[in-house]
Chains A and B, each alone.
Chain A
Amino acid sequence: MTHATATVDLMRPPFPAEPGSGVYSNKLGMWVFLASDVMFFTALIGTYIILRFGVSQPWAHPNAVLNVPLTAFNTFLLICSSVSMVKAFAAISQGDQRGLKLWLLITILAGASFVSVQVVEYIKLVGHGFTPAGFREGSTLAEHAVSDPVKYGAATAGLYGSTFFTMTGFHGFHVTCGVISMTYLYFTKVLPGKYSRQDYRGIETIGLYWHFVDLVWIILFTIVYLI
């Protein structure tokens, strides 16, 4: 029996698997959802690419309008939360309840901090005059756009505002849903000790979602903030 336990493959716990797929239904369901979410974000990012590179007028330099250092910090925060999520998974896959509680709490806090920083970023951007409809009349950005229409992409500000807030807003919505789901799991399953080395399906499934949200942000950060 000891030998049999020792050779269990931690990546493939002996949960009841769906016939044919070889994985349990929660995990398969999450993967299918993530596949559909790839198409959802492709539509958003694709629209941005077409609009940005399709218009003949200049587009604003990201550095001129957005706070790139703040978002770079936020990216770092989300990457850290992805690592803490996978550490929570690794902990419970080895039966470490304390590790699971600690790492999942860190993940929730880092995720909530990401959303908070994004809210602060939005408030500052709107305060400077960058809204989903473009540069607000009479704002600092609108004045800059008049003096340097190329750098600030004065003619395409409306397109920039609507695509920027749609993409980052939907991503922020995903992060918020993840934080809420993890908090729910934390209080209903993790704290009462309902996960074990034999059954940690909920942690693996929410982990997949969380890493995907991190993956999408990696692409969004590059395309929206750096290019």
Chain B
Amino acid sequence: METTQHKLPNYMLIWLYLFVLTAAEVLFAFEMPISQLAKIVCLLVLAVVKALLVALFFMHLKFERWRLRVVFMIPLPLAAILVLAVITEKLW
């Protein structure tokens, strides 16, 4: 039993990370005297870290087989291509 219990991550610790990162985001957005570009980059990095925490630990992707992870990873480059393609069209 003990070995199986170790397979469940510490969910409350992940919750704490998510809470701290959300507070950090709000601080970055409205209190930090940094440039708009630096702010956007920092906020996007924080959002991606939070999304990864949810996907890896709450959705258990960290513990899943690779073939299932691929199902979720396939649309990510497609999403990036979609957005980049439209941005490129705008730039032209």
* A residues apposed to B, CB below 8 Å: 6-11, 20-23, 28, 31-32, 34-36, 38-39, 42-43, 45-46, 49-50, 54, 63, 68, 72, 75-76, 79-80, 82-83, 85-87, 90, 93-94, 207-208, 211-212, 214-215, 218-219, 221-223, 226-227
Contacts and interface: CB of A to CB of B under 8 A. Distances in A.
B68 A21 contact: yes
B65 A23 contact: yes
- Chain A contact surface mostly: helix
Interface of B: 1, 3-5, 7-8, 11-12, 14-15, 18-19, 22, 25-26, 28-30, 39-40, 43-44, 46-47, 50-51, 54-55, 57-60, 63-65, 67-68, 71-72, 74-76, 78-79, 82-83, 86-87, 90
A24 to B, nearest CB: 11
Given A34-B72, A46-B86, A226-B25, A63 B58 contact: no
Contact of A7 (B3, B43, B71): B3
Given A76-B19, A222-B46, A35 B87 contact: no
A72 B29 CA distance: 12
A221 B25 CA distance: 10
16 contacts: A9-B7, A21-B68, A23-B64, A31-B71, A34-B72, A36-B75, A38-B72, A38-B76, A39-B75, A42-B79, A68-B26, A75-B22, A79-B18, A94-B5, A219-B51, A221-B25
B25 A222 contact: yes
A44 B51 CA distance: 18
A50 B59 contact: no
A218 B52 CA distance: 10
Contact of A79 (B4, B19, B29, B82): B19
Contacts of A34: 72
A8 B40 contact: no
